[in-house]
């Protein structure tokens, strides 16, 4: 099968399309004919080797954590899925990822893609949708809670805001000043996150934008809590005045089902900035690194 291969750790020039064997699903796994895959910021960290000590890849490796396609083969014991089903899948960062014609994942990492969503839309929803919900759940947020979200117009931030609205909480989008209007349209309330506050006014916050993580802490009262998917400067949280829950996305098919249902009903929209062919994975990662204002998706 054709795959976009990472030949060595380094720059995007280390990607090359090549042929590798088509994998076979084992018991409890499914083989997916991949139609679209999304590029996430974490992929860039893997490519550069910054996680090699913790997640060593056997090179050449196939990156890509988010995929959409059709089931081509079922492993023994798989139920509830059938060959030909349109699905999305959450791939682990094991070097056998989604930037290929086919991929194998556990059936527990797969959810059916609603008929009114394209493969590109499905691929864009996977980790963003899961992480957005999991940030909210990590804080135990309930109806009526007012929550500040930095990176509110990013994929994870948008998913968090949608979920906060669904449970009756009150999201406040923290964004750059030039995007306040767009943020208010999305969340209902917005503030300029680039300016440190005169006094903290929030008990709960979600940190999804590394450049302003320190500013976000300043908005949270002593004893408050933050769910963060980005590094938070230690100096910004002197004496541990707020509790920070470091969050790493978890694969969860039931949550992914809920995300897809909301998207199919128009309640959750993750904008796609551009769609590129598989052989332009390097350009796709460059676009993510440059701050593309939406998901970058590869069409296989």
**Could you read off the pLDDT of 285-295 as tens digits, one per residue?**
999 999 998 99
What length is written for the chain?
A: 300
Residues 6+ apart with CB under 8 A from 269: 158, 263
Which tens digit of pLDDT belongs to each residue from 51-70? 999 999 999 999 999 999 99
Query: What are the structure tokens assigned to 190, written together?
Result: 């917005």
Query: What are the structure tokens assigned to 6, written together?
Result: 């990472």
Which tens digit of pLDDT belongs to each residue from 245-260? 999 889 999 999 999 9
Total-model pTM: 0.92
d(CA 237, CA 201): 16
Provide mean pLDDT across the span 150-163: 95
pLDDT tier for residue 181 given thresholds of 50, 70 and 90: very high
**What kind of fold does domain 131-246 have according to CATH?**
Rossmann fold (3.40.50)
Are the C-beta atoms of 246 and 139 separated by less than 8 Å? no
**What kind of fold does domain 2-113+270-299 have according to CATH?**
Quinone Oxidoreductase; Chain A, domain 1 (3.90.180)
Q: Of 189, 224, 229, give the one whose Cα is nearest residue 207.
A: 229
Q: Of 85, 96, 3, 9, give the one whose Cα is nearest residue 44.
A: 9
d(CA 71, CA 29): 11
Residue spans per domain, the chain:
2-113+270-299, 131-246
Lowest average pLDDT, out of 38-47, 216-225, 229-238, 247-256, goes to 229-238
d(CA 99, CA 164): 32
Q: Of 84, 83, 89, give the one whose Cα is nearest residue 115.
A: 84
d(CA 164, CA 146): 9
């Amino acid at each position: 099968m054709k795959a976009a291969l990472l030949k060595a750790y380094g720059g995007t020039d280390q990607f090359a399309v090549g042929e590798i064997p088509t994998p076979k699903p084992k018991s409890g796994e499914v083989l997916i004919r991949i139609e679209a895959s999304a590029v996430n910021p974490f992929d860039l960290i893997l490519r550069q080797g910054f996680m090699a000590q913790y997640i060593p890849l056997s090179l050449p490796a196939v990156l890509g954590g988010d995929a959409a396609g059709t089931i081509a083969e079922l492993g023994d014991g798989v139920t509830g899925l059938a060959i030909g089903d349109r699905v999305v899948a959450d791939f682990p960062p094991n070097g056998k990822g989604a930037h290929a014609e086919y991929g194998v994942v556990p059936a527990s990492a797969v959810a059916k893609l609603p008929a009114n969503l394209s493969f590109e839309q499905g691929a864009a929803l996977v980790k963003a949708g899961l992480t957005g919900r999991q940030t909210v759940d990590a804080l135990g947020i309930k109806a009526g809670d007012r929550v500040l979200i930095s990176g509110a117009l990013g994929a994870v931030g948008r998913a968090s805001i949608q979920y906060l609205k669904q449970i009756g909480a009150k999201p406040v989008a923290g964004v750059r000043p030039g995007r306040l209007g767009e943020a208010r349209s999305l969340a209902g309330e917005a503030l300029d996150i680039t300016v440190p506050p005169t006094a903290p006014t929030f008990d709960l916050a979600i940190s999804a934008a590394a450049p302003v993580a320190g500013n976000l802490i300043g908005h949270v009262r002593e004893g408050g809590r933050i769910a963060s998917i980005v590094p938070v400067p230690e100096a910004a949280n002197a004496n541990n005045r707020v509790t920070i829950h470091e969050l790493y996305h978890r694969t969860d098919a039931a949550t992914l089902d809920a995300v897809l249902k909301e998207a199919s009903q128009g309640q959750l929209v993750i904008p796609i900035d551009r769609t590129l062919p598989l052989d332009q994975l390097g350009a796709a990662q460059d676009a993510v690194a440059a701050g593309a204002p939406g998901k970058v998706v590869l069409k296989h």
